[in-house]
Amino acid sequence: MSMTINDIKIKLKLADSDKYLARATVIVDDLLEIHGWRISESQHFDDRFQESIWIQPPAFRSGFGKWKAVVFFDNKKLYGQIEQKVYDAYHAEKNKPENEKVNPDDIPL
């Protein structure tokens, strides 16, 4: 049995946080849910996504300043596709009209 990107779904929730922009759950074949994916602003421009964004898989602190990934993907192509799918879900959710951030000063009286 071989897994493809079509076996993976994404659930995403926008965050109201200074630390990250959204949290995601990667669902594999409706059998396994991997919680704890984070989407954050980055100091580096990501050429794939054409913005300064960082998609992080779940990790835990394993020492002073060190983090250990909870999941490991041996298939780099599939991992890149999962990142793209997480980004696409984030972009779609962020651009829904009800999630659009509006400056109250921009609304005419």
Domains, the chain: 5-98 (3.30.1120.40)
Residues 6+ apart with CB under 8 A from 68: 59, 60, 61, 62
User: Where are the extended beta strands (E) located within the chain?
Assistant: 8-14, 22-28, 32-46, 51-56, 59-63, 66-69
Q: What percent of the chain has pLDDT over 90?
A: 61
pLDDT-derived band at 105 (thresholds 50, 70, 90) equals confident
Q: What is the pLDDT of residue 74?
A: 84
Mean pLDDT of 89-96: 91
What helix, strand, coil percent values describe the chain, rounded to 5? 25, 40, 35
Which band of pLDDT confidence, cut at 50, 70 and 90, is reported for residue 11? very high
